[in-house]
Structure 1
Amino acid sequence: MSLIIAYVGKKGCVMASDKRKIGYFGDKKNLNLLEKELYEGKIDNDDDFLARANELGISIKITDDANKLKIIGNTIRGEVSTKGTFETRRRRIYGTTNGYQIIELLGSDTEKRQAGENGVIIFGNEYAKRLAETLIKRKWKPSLSLRYMGEIFESILEEVASKTPTVGKKVDVLMQQPKFDKAEAQRHLNITIDHDIKVLTKFRQELTEKLVQQSIEIERANKIIDKGEVGKVVNIDGNMLFVQLNKDVQALDDNWKQRAGPGQNVLMFTDSDNVKIGDKVVIENEDLCLKKDKSSLQCDIILCSL
Structure 2
Amino acid sequence: MSLIIAYIGKKGCVMAADKRKIGYFGDKENLKTLEDELYHGMINGDEAFKKRAEELGISIKITDDASKLKIVGNCVRGEVSTKGTFETKRRRIYGTTNGFQLVELLGSEVSSRKAGETGIIIFGNNFAKKMAESLISKKFKPSSSLKAKGEQFEEFIKEVASKTPTVGNNVDILKQEPIFNPSEAQKHLNVTIDNDVKVLVKFRQSLTEQIVQQSIEIEMANKIINKGDIGRVVSVDGNILYVQLNSKTQALDGNWKQLAAPGQNVIMFTESNNVNVGDEVTIENEDLRLKKDKSSLKCDVILCSL
Indicate the TM-score class for this superposition, using the shorter chain for normalisation: over 0.9
Question: What is the rounded CA distance, in whole Å, between the counterparts of 1:239 and 1:147 in structure 2?
Answer: 75
Question: What is the rounded CA distance, in whole Å, between the counterparts of 2:169 and 2:43 in structure 1?
Answer: 16
Using the TM superposition, give the Cα deviation of residue 186 of structure 1 relative to its aligned residue in structure 2, in angstroms: 0.9
CA RMSD of aligned residues (A): 1.6
Instruction: Report the counterpart of residue 140 of structure 2 in structure 1.
Output: 140
Using the TM superposition, give the Cα deviation of residue 25 of structure 1 relative to its aligned residue in structure 2, in angstroms: 1.2
Question: What is the rounded CA distance, in whole Å, between the counterparts of 1:255 and 1:89 in structure 2?
Answer: 34
Give deviations 1:5-36, integer Å, cap 9, x for gaps. 01111132111100001111111121111111
Instruction: Report the counterpart of residue 221 of structure 1 in structure 2.
Output: 221
Deviates more, 1:32-41 or 1:223-232: 223-232
Matched, 1:42 2:42: yes
Matched, 1:249 2:230: no
Instruction: Report the counterpart of residue 25 of structure 2 in structure 1.
Output: 25
Instruction: Report the counterpart of residue 65 of structure 1 in structure 2.
Output: 65
Preserved CA contact (<8 Å) 2:217 2:256? no
Question: What is the rounded CA distance, in whole Å, between the counterparts of 2:87 and 2:209 in structure 1?
Answer: 16
Query: Residue type matched to 1:88 in 2?
Result: T
Question: What is the rounded CA distance, in whole Å, between the counterparts of 1:159 and 1:167 in structure 2?
Answer: 10
Instruction: Report the counterpart of residue 294 of structure 2 in structure 1.
Output: 294
With structure 1 as the length reference, what TM-score do the two structures score? 0.95
Using the TM superposition, give the Cα deviation of residue 235 of structure 1 relative to its aligned residue in structure 2, in angstroms: 4.0
Counting only pairs closer than 5 Å after superposition, residues 69-108 of structure 1 correspond to structure 2 as: 69-108=69-108
Any idea what SS the aligned residue of 2:222 has?
Answer: helix
Question: What is the rounded CA distance, in whole Å, between the counterparts of 1:192 and 1:236 in structure 2?
Answer: 66
Question: What is the rounded CA distance, in whole Å, between the counterparts of 1:123 and 1:258 in structure 2?
Answer: 52
Q: Which runs of 4+ in 1 moved over 4 A?
A: none
Deviates more, 1:3-12 or 1:249-258: 249-258
Aligned positions, number: 306
Question: What is the rounded CA distance, in whole Å, between the counterparts of 1:154 and 1:245 in structure 2?
Answer: 68
Instruction: Report the counterpart of residue 130 of structure 2 in structure 1.
Output: 130
Give deviations 1:220-263, integer Å, cap 9, x for gaps. 22222122221233444443333332221112234433333223
With structure 2 as the length reference, what TM-score do the two structures score? 0.95
Matched, 1:9 2:25: no
Task: Flag structure 1 segments of 5+ consecutive residues without an equivalent.
Answer: none
Instruction: Report the counterpart of residue 165 of structure 2 in structure 1.
Output: 165
Task: Flag structure 2 segments of 5+ consecutive residues without an equivalent.
Answer: none
Matched, 1:201 2:201: yes
Deviates more, 1:232-241 or 1:141-150: 232-241
Aligned-residue sequence identity (percent) comes to: 71
Question: What is the rounded CA distance, in whole Å, between the counterparts of 2:68 and 2:172 in structure 1?
Answer: 8
